[in-house]
Every structure is written in structure tokens, then in C-alpha cells.
Chains A and B, each alone.
Chain A
Amino acid sequence: MSQMRHLLSIEDLERPDIERILDRARAFTEVSEREIKKVPALRGRRVLNLFYEASTRTRSSFELAAKTLSAEVINFVSSGSSVEKGESLKDTVQTLSAYQPDLIVVRTPHVGAAGLVAQWTPAAVVNAGDGKHEHPTQALLDVHTLRERLGALDGAKIWIVGDVMHSRVARSNVLAFSKLGAEVTVCGPPTLIPRNFEALGCAVEHTLDRLGEADVVYALRMQHERMADSFVPSLREYAAVYQIDGRRLGPRQVLMHPGPVNRGVELAAEVIDSPQALIGQQVAAGVVVRMAVLYELLTGRTAGDRTPTTPQYA
């Protein structure tokens, strides 16, 4: 199997790639449980976090993952930087590439931007969210969490509930869960599920009537700004129809959420705090899975590999 150069989307991965990365994540779990939480695997490597959007857990877990593997980490956030002086993404990436990073973690509000960064830098690139397109490391950590809980995803029925339209997590997770053999259903208001979404290989539902079939209930964050464009008439009505609460969540079902949770909107307090919720496990998985991703992309790479992919404009 050829080595991965970048992690830009789940679409690019095959099931064995996902399993290889997650087997390594499992092996890394032990490191996080040590008294000295550090191994020298990536000593001397430079990881650059380039974040154009606010992020707490994704950025800090990448940082923690890199540091645990002894890599150097530079954080570049858009506020207070040259971006505010009008520098283009291309110029920023080329400037930062002069620092010779081995890997760039990038989050932007724009679909496909991580792919562009990969064209403009010799470094490996990890997509930490590109607009509403994909968030592949979130999907990997979610698969990891479920593998640890269920053993395997084959045949598991997973319902992803909420604002599918504006969710890169939904896109990456539908692809990842189905690649691992799960049967995925997305459920939400018709205004918040894109037309033709079943093309991603999932079923589409608009009510929770058949939620009982699910082994896993994955709730998405419902953002308040969606009200402004009439995607839903009110949060009250949304919660009445789609909120996962103690009545709707069955005793054998597990509950997941990418965070941060809007308590009382997509999830009721009683389910967040229930033992069925894997939300804390997801956060913990974020570190080991990102360690495995960094390891996958950075080991075995030599200076000779550090050539950019073909630029968009030759």
C-alpha cells in the first residue's frame, strides 16, 4: 500500500487505511496513560496549526497529539495575523512554508481549501475542517470510539440527527461509518438535509419515529444562526421534534455528539450525563487518533517526498 501524503477527506481513504490508522491509535492509548506522556516518535518534526476558524478541541488535541509525539508545534491563528492585513491563503501558506513545516493542520471556512494548501506547500496537509465539506479526523475519532465500544461497525445501524446541511462532520461520518460496514441514516428537518444527500450512501429520514432501530444515535450541533434563514421556525419547535431525550433514547443505544453541545436543544441534559453518552470518550479519542494520523503522515517521509502536488495553475 502506498503511503498517504495528506489527509484531506474520508472519501480518499479505503477501509484498510482507516483500520491501520485506528489500530495505531489503539496502541497509542497506552502512552496517554503513562506518567510521562511523551514518546520520541516525531522528535525534530515541525507541525504547524493553521486555523482560520475558532476551534477549541480540534486545535488543542492536534497540539497535544504532536507534543506527545515530541514534535514542535507552531500555532497560527487568523486573528492578529497577516490575514487581517489582506494576505491571501496562498501567500500565507507559501510564507509559512518557508519555516519548513513537515505537516500543516488547516481549518478554514471554505470547501476544498485544505486541498489548495496541499498544492501550495511541500508539507503534508491534514484537513481539520474545510467549510461544510469534510472533517476527516473527527470521523476517524468517532469510528475509533465506536470500535472501542462495539468491537466493529459492521452491520451497526447509526442515525445521524440534526443539521446535516451545515455539517462537515455529517459528511465525513456518513462516508467513514459506511466504509466500515455500518448502515447510516441521516435524520433532520427537510430544510436542513441537502437535496440528493442519499448519494453519499445513506438513508434519509425526517422524523425520529424509527429511531428505535438505531444502535448508535449521533446528534449534531444545532447552530443558533440557522434560525435567521428560516431553516427552522424556532429552536423550540426544533427541540420538540428532534431533541434526543431520555424518552427517545433507548436503553441499549449509545449516544455521540461532536461538541460543543447546546444543552436543551439537540440533547436533553439527562442523556448528556447518562452512561450511554460517549461524548467524553470521543474527546479522549481525539488525541490518540490525531497522534496516529500525524505518525501515519510523518514517518517514513524523507526530504525527497517534499514536493508539492501539481498546482492548479501550471
Chain B
Amino acid sequence: MTGPHELGGADVPRLFFRETPPADLLIRGAHVVDPRTGIDGRHDVLVRAGEIAEIGAPGALEAPAGAEVVDGEGRHLLPGFVDPHVHFRAPGQEHKEDLDSGTRSAAAGGFVAVVAMPNTAPTVDDASVLRALREAARREARVPTGFMAAVTRGLRGDALTEMAELRAEGALGFTDDGKPVWRAVMLRKALQYQKLCGGVIALHEEDPSLSGNGAMHEGVVSARLGLAGIPSISESTMIARDAAIARYEGGRIHAQHLSARESVEAVAEAKARGVRITCEASPHHLTLTDEALLETLDTRLKMNPPLRTDDDRQALIDGLRDGTIDCVATDHAPHAREEKEVPFEEAPMGTTGLETAFPVLYTELVVPGVLPLGLVVEKLSAGAALLDLPLPRIKRGAPANLCLVDLEARWEVGESGYESRSENSAFAGRTVQGRVLVTVAAGAVAYRERAFALSAA
């Protein structure tokens, strides 16, 4: 995306976090899997001063003085995950989440970088708000955190933000997430302006005239429950429209949280025509369906876009496999208990997702043999590339962005609470397999699972 006229180029910092002493660690004997470097086997991995200093045969590396030794025996060491889509609610709704609790949740899920959405109160539509957030992240964030700025002021859809200044102040890109850019002309202008300032434009694809006051997917389950439905076409028609605009302008767009088969098809068609479009899917859309609502109208299963049918879910899985879907993004959307403890139609949309992303994908897709582990691991960090961020790699000389997981550990989601301030997990009460034990983000230890930390001490 860098062009000759781009303002705020590569030298502008775009990830912010609390300075933490770099780690000196020897992770012994873990099964190391990194699909990008092709590594897949047992190794010792030595981290010195926050960098991967050496990778050796199991038992071959010596721990230098002062380095901590982590027993990786029977565990897997993966490149850390990158989430291009989280809601940390700061500023303005810190009762749901803030940068401290949100990044603790991220670290506990194995994430080494996260990107926060701008639909806060106030909206991140002005450089002063972005600067304040940046400074807050430098004080509070436990893993590197980037910020998207709004496409339109106040997400109202009628006037562009000062995109160039926002880019120069560190905005990773632009989005009105939570709402579509519903006037085609505003997206067109933003894509024209993108030629000046760069930055991907990420789109919440929904035609509000079709989704109306819908509370769930329109289909058999909504017909049974008498709930107003959100049809698949409210998403897919907007993707088709926006892909046409991006093609015309030569702009680069990213479709957020795909939920429907028709949407995967729309992205595939656009990619085939050479449109610069990427897209993401969430762990909940990849593993849950609207049938879950027949058992219980649990408001934690209410999100936008909604859980759809198993056919839609299969299309998302196929899209992940064939590359139509570029990455996994959690759309981590915390809400306070009292906000969710209301009738379904009244509840706000959203589920948390950072702490469960890897375990649910591993349990539902890798264990049954639907997708290989390497593909899931790759897609869990591929969001970095879409935002021009470095991809985590396990290789000598790379900054240490790692997570150590126990693929055998089974646990119940929510049994010992959450690191997030909110507990609205769509997976609450489900037994999952795979647990993050240690997360090293940008060279520093960002998370240690309690029992594992105690056993190691």
C-alpha cells in the first residue's frame, strides 16, 4: 500500500504496549510448529533478550546464566496469534473492558498483537482520541496493540475523518465496524483518499435495510422462535457492492467477520476478478450454528453477524482451507453482565473470543481432522499481514512472539473465570481441548497459566 505520496509511512509506530523487560528463556523439548518456516518437530528454543537466539535439537541447548528454563516436554510451541479485530471499549465503556483487561485476555489466548476497533465513546475519529489511546496503551497494554480509526466521523456515515492525520498518528487503517459504510459514495471517497494516506479499509458488511431489527439469522430457527431474522443477503450484497467500488477505484478493502456462504462466494468472485479484497472469519462462526438457540435463547449467542446454518459454517471452513478467507479474527466484543441478562431481543450483540479462539478451533476443527493444525495456526496470525504488520515467525533472529500450548489439556470454558472483564462467552460451559500455558509477545513474557507457572516454580 505504500505509494510515493503516502503520508505517515513505514517509520510511524503502529503498535503500542507497556515496556516490559525482554525475556531470557529456554523452552526445552517442545514440538515446534510454524507453517511459515516449515518447522514441525521437537526442538529446544532459546530466547535471549527477547529474540529467538537459537533453535536446537531437544536437550542440545544449554540455558545461559539467568535464563529461565521452561519444560516444553509434551507441549507445542507455536508462533503467537495476531487478532485484527477486537473491541477493547476504551475510551468510554471501561466497565466492559479496557486496554489492561483486554490485553490480559489476549495474552491468555496466546495472542501477541491485537487491533482495536474505533467504535468507542468517543469514537476514534480524531487524532486527539487516537493519541490518548496510544499513550494509554503504552501504560497498560500487555501485548502490542494497534488501533483502527473510523472511516466516517462518529461512524455516522456522512463525512470522512481526517484520514491522513490519523494515519500519521499511527492508525493501522480505517473502519466503521459495528456499522456498514452504507452510503456507497462515502466508501468511494474513502478509497480515493486511501491513495493518499494508505491503510486498509475494513468493512462491516451489512445492508441495514435488509437486516432491519433482526436479532438472529433468518431461517428455520428464527421462523420457529418468532424472532426477526437477519438474512444472509444483508451481508453478501454489501460485499458484492463494495468489491465493485474497490475494483473501480483500485482500492484495498477487508471484509470483516464473514458469516454466510453467499458472502464467501462473493469474496471468491471478487478475488477471481483481481479485486484487492481480503476477509476474515471468527471462531464462533466457524464452530457454532443458529441451532444452538433452539436449546436455549442464551444472549451470549447473540452477535452481529449472527450464527448461521451448518451449511454456512461449512462454507467458511472451506473458505479457510482454499484461501478465500485470509485469516481468523475473534471480533472479541465484551459486554457487562447486566447488559446481557435481559430478553434476547434487548441484548447487545457480541461475544468475547480471545481466550477461547485457539481451544475452540483446535477442539472443533483440528481434533476431528477437519483442518490441519498448521493451517489453523497460520490463519490465527495471518491478520497481521493484512494490516502491514510483521508476521510472527519461529526462526533465529526473529523477535520472540510465541505461545506454548498443551494440546491434551481439557477444560471447561469459564470454570475459573476469565481474564477479560466481561463473561459473555458464546462458549461458556463447553469443554474444550488445548490450553495456552505461556505467551511471549514482542520478546516479553505476557502470560503464564497459573497452574503451569506454579508447577514450574
Contacts and interface: CB of A to CB of B under 8 A. Distances in A.
B338 A111 contact: no
Contacts of B125: none
B224 interface: yes
Contact of A89 (B224, B229, B299, B343): B343
Interface in A84-133: 88-90, 108, 110-113, 115-116, 131-133
Contacts of A257: none
Interface of A is mostly: loop
Nearest to A114: B343
Nearest to B346: A110
A133 B343 contact: no
Interface string B260-271: 000000000000
Nearest to A91: B338
B423 A313 contact: yes
A90 B338 CA distance: 9
A194 interface: yes
Contact of A199 (B223, B337, B342, B343): B223
Given A195-B219, A196-B219, A312-B298, A116 B226 contact: no
A200 B223 contact: yes
B297 A111 contact: yes
A231 to B, nearest CB: 12
B220 interface: yes
A89 B298 contact: no
Chain A interface category by residue count: 20 to 34
B229 A90 contact: no
B119 interface: no
Chain B interface category by residue count: 20 to 34
A168 interface: yes
Contacts of B411: none
A54 to B, nearest CB: 18
Interface string B383-411: 00000000000000000000000000000
Contacts of A200: 223-224
A168 B227 CA distance: 10
B226 A168 contact: yes
Contacts of A108: 343
A195 to B, nearest CB: 6
B344 A112 contact: yes
A134 interface: yes
A200 B225 CA distance: 10
Contacts of A90: 341-342
A197 B338 contact: no
Interface in A192-222: 194-197, 199-200
A116 B225 CA distance: 15
A168 B346 CA distance: 18
A111 B347 CA distance: 12
Given A194-B223, A195-B223, A312-B341, A112 B297 contact: yes
Nearest to B213: A229
Nearest to A199: B220
B34 interface: no
Nearest first, the 6 A-B pairs at minimum CB distance are: A110-B343, A132-B226, A112-B297, A133-B226, A199-B220, A194-B223
Given A88-B341, A90-B341, A194-B223, 10 more contacts: A88-B338, A108-B343, A131-B343, A133-B225, A171-B224, A171-B226, A195-B218, A195-B223, A200-B223, A313-B341
